[in-house]
């Protein structure tokens, strides 16, 4: 049974992942090679917990309890000493992840399960130089951002590990109220990102070709397919609508859809101009400095409302 968790990398994803495990009572040890992040990470987790309490998603008492379950270490070796399960969530760089896995393989207890939060790298590449025994205890556990509010977790089951180990990790994620997806093939993007970017390609194409304004394309998604998808998947929607109709529509539409194998030019142009989104005050939309905090909180608030609604469903 998994009790002690180590999170390696305390950036955007790492702090959120540590937050969730600690909130559900697990002892979490953390490590980041950048010491500056050691100072920020607890403040960031605290502020997210306070916001969840303000929105009445968690009890106030949970804030200190959660924080007391997290400890940050200044050496990797100390961090993983008692770990049953390690999740690395360091930069998306194959060499760094390989080096880290090689190190973890050597210094972790024999029973420790090692996992990666990679969004795009192959598990067999990341773990290519680790011991044969450890290869039976490695997997991808892919979270979605923001980790403390998105219910999905994608778990690899690529044939390298026994079902017992997989089920231990599956049970771990059920215990923190995530919705695990068992991914059976080592394919780039796992499942959720493939779905997301198939849709994103058409969104960018519609804007680039002037089919509708950016605001209206977003609105069509939020109040059309996106609205329904939060409660009803594509297959169920097709069943409800009638497969004969869906089939006719797809035969007519698929040949019209964008099938580019590159990110869209409009986005590349924006990047050239230094418009990277919220972090640079402008992306597809504008983010005035004095409104940024409110924009971020509104984003979190909407997810909390969805979470509350999906719990009562
Ligand atoms: N940001 C997202 O939306 C998102 C979503 C899902 C998955 N992911 C994946 O999660 C991972 C982390 O992404 P992020 O957005 O949190 O990145 P980030 O840059 O915010 O954080 C990475 C952290 O890892 C630390 N780090 C780098 N190398 C290290 C090492 N060798 N040892 C210890 N610490 C190290 C860095 O100092 C940094 O604090 C990536 O694999 C990414 O693909 C990201």
> Please, which pLDDT band fits residue 312 given cuts at 50, 70 and 90?
low
- Taking only the tens place, the pLDDT of each residue in 132-154 is 999 999 999 999 999 999 999 99
| Residues 53 and 167 occupy one common structural domain | yes
- 187 occurs within a structural domain: no
The reply to whether ligand 1 has any atom less than 6 angstroms from the CB of 74 is no
| Residues 109 and 206 occupy one common structural domain | no
| Residues 266 and 305 occupy one common structural domain | yes
Query: Could you count the other beta carbons within 10 Å of the beta carbon of residue 256?
Result: 7
Alpha-carbon distance of 271 to 287, in angstroms, equals 16
The reply to whether ligand 1 has any atom less than 6 angstroms from the CB of 79 is no
- Taking only the tens place, the pLDDT of each residue in 189-231 is 999 999 999 999 999 999 999 999 999 999 999 999 999 999 9
Question: Which pLDDT value is given to residue 36?
Answer: 87
The reply to whether ligand 1 has any atom less than 6 angstroms from the CB of 68 is no
How far does residue 76's CA lie from ligand 1's centre (Å)? 16
In this model, does residue 313 exceed pLDDT 90?
no
Which of the listed residues 182, 210, 234 is the one where a domain comes to its end? Answer: 182
| Residues 47 and 100 occupy one common structural domain | yes
| Ligand 1 atom at shortest distance from the alpha carbon of 88 | 11
How far does residue 227's CA lie from ligand 1's centre (Å)? 30
Number of structural domains found in the chain: 2
| Ligand 1 atom at shortest distance from the alpha carbon of 31 | 33
| Residues 259 and 136 occupy one common structural domain | no
Is 236 assigned a ligand-binding role in the annotation? no
The reply to whether ligand 1 has any atom less than 6 angstroms from the CB of 88 is no
| Ligand 1 atom at shortest distance from the alpha carbon of 119 | 43
How far does residue 16's CA lie from ligand 1's centre (Å)? 11
Question: Which pLDDT value is given to residue 264?
Answer: 95
Alpha-carbon distance of 29 to 79, in angstroms, equals 6
The dihedral through the CA atoms of 257, 259, 263, 265 has a sign that is: negative
pTM: predicted TM-score of the whole model, two decimal places? 0.95
Percentage of the residues of the chain whose pLDDT score is greater than 70: 99
| Ligand 1 atom at shortest distance from the alpha carbon of 116 | 41
Alpha-carbon distance of 114 to 88, in angstroms, equals 8
The reply to whether ligand 1 has any atom less than 6 angstroms from the CB of 86 is no
**C-alpha 186: how far from its chain's center?**
17
Domain with 273, as residue range(s), is: 193-310
The reply to whether ligand 1 has any atom less than 6 angstroms from the CB of 12 is yes
SS3 per-residue string spanning the chain: CCCEEEEECCCHHHHHHHHHHHHCCCEEEEECCCHHHHHHHHHHHHHHHHHHHHCCCCCCHHHHHHHHCEEECCCHHHHHCCCCEEEECCCCCHHHHHHHHHHHHHHCCCCCEEEECCCCCCHHHHCCCCCHHHHCCEEEEEECCCCCCCCEEEEECCCCCCHHHHHHHHHHHHHCCCEEEEECCCCCCCCHHHHHHHHHHHHHHHHHCCCCCHHHHHHHHHHCHHHHHCCCCHHHHHHHHCHHHHHHHHHHHHHHCCCCCCCCHHHHHHHHCCCCEHHHCECCCECCHHHHHHHHHHHHHHHHHHHHHHHHC
The reply to whether ligand 1 has any atom less than 6 angstroms from the CB of 72 is no
């Amino acid at each position: 049974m998994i009790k002690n968790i180590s999170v390696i990398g305390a950036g955007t994803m790492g702090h959120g992942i540590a937050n969730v495990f600690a909130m559900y009572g697990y002892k979490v040890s953390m490590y980041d090679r950048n010491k500056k992040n050691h100072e920020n990470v607890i403040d960031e987790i605290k502020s997210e917990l306070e916001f969840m309490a303000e929105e009445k998603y968690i009890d106030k008492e949970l804030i200190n309890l959660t924080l007391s379950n997290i400890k940050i270490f200044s050496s990797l070796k100390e961090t993983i000493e008692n770990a049953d399960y390690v999740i690395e969530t360091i930069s998306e760089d194959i060499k760094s992840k390989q080096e880290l896995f090689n190190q973890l393989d050597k210094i972790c207890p024999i029973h420790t399960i090692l996992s990666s939060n990679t969004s795009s790298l192959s598990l067999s590449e990341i773990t290519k130089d680790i011991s044969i025994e450890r290869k039976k205890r490695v997997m991808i556990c892919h979270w979605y951002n923001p980790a403390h509010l998105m219910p999905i977790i994608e778990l690899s089951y690529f044939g390298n590990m026994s079902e017992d180990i997989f089920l231990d990790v599956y049970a771990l994620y059920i215990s923190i109220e995530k919705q695990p997806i068992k991914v059976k093939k080592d394919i780039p993007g796992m499942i959720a990102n493939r779905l997301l970017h198939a849709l994103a390609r058409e969104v960018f194409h519609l804007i680039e070709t002037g089919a509708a304004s950016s605001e209206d394309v977003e609105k069509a998604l939020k109040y059309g397919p996106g609205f329904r998808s939060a409660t009803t998947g594509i297959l169920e929607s097709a069943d409800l609508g009638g497969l004969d109709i869906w089939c006719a529509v797809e035969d007519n539409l698929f040949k019209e859809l964008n099938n580019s194998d590159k990110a869209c030019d409009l986005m590349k142009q924006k990047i050239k101009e230094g418009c990277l989104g919220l972090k640079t005050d402008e992306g597809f939309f504008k983010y005035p400095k004095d409104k940024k905090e409110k924009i971020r909180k509104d984003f979190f608030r909407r997810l909390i409302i969805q979470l509350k609604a999906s719990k009562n469903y």
